């Protein structure tokens, strides 16, 4: 049931044996994020993936903020942490594939104006695709923007 959670636990044990303190720290953080939602960690894999994706997103945001305040050593640490976290989430769909999906959904639901972006985004997320929401929203805005 919670195959991904077990994979994280196994990776923690391996990191302990190899004395990889940084990797262990990141894996413990991922595990704690899952345990915050369910104390036993017996969530289905899609739920665990959502939790880890949310963590990855927070790391990406932290990287952007840290770059703004010009702290290269902290950025490097966060990027290394993100690399480890991304090993446990499915890869996001490319920007070109996202463009095709957004265009198809717009035609499927008959969206025709800027007001329909909410419906488009809701449909994208409902399909459970590994699409970056920010990119999908930007593409939807480009397609549905009023033509001058």
Tell me which fold the domain 3-86 belongs to: Hypothetical Protein Yqey; Chain: A; domain1 (1.10.1510)
Virtual torsion, Cα 95, 99, 100, 104, nearest 10 deg: 150
Q: Provide CATH 1.10.10.410 ranges for the chain.
A: 95-144
Per mean pLDDT, which of 2-11, 18-27, 121-130 is the most reliable?
Answer: 18-27
pLDDT digits (tens, 9 = 90+) for 95-108: 888 888 888 888 88
CATH of domain 95-144: 1.10.10.410
Q: Provide CATH 1.10.1510.10 ranges for the chain.
A: 3-86
pLDDT digits (tens, 9 = 90+) for 18-57: 999 999 999 999 999 999 998 888 888 888 888 998 999 9
């Amino acid at each position: 049931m919670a195959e991904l959670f077990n994979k994280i636990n196994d990776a923690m044990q391996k990191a302990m044996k190899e004395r990889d303190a940084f990797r262990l720290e990141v894996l413990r953080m991922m595990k704690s994020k899952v345990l915050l939602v369910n104390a036993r960690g017996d969530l289905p894999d899609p739920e665990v993936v959502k939790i880890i994706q949310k963590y990855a997103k927070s790391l990406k945001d932290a990287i952007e903020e840290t770059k703004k305040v010009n702290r290269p050593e902290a950025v490097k640490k966060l990027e290394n942490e993100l690399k480890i976290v991304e090993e446990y989430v499915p890869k996001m769909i490319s920007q070109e594939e996202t463009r095709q999906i957004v265009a198809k959904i717009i035609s499927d639901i008959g969206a025709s104006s800027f007001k329909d972006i909410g419906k488009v985004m809701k449909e994208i997320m409902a399909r459970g695709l590994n699409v970056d929401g920010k990119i999908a929203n930007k593409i939807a805005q480009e397609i549905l923007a009023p033509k001058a």
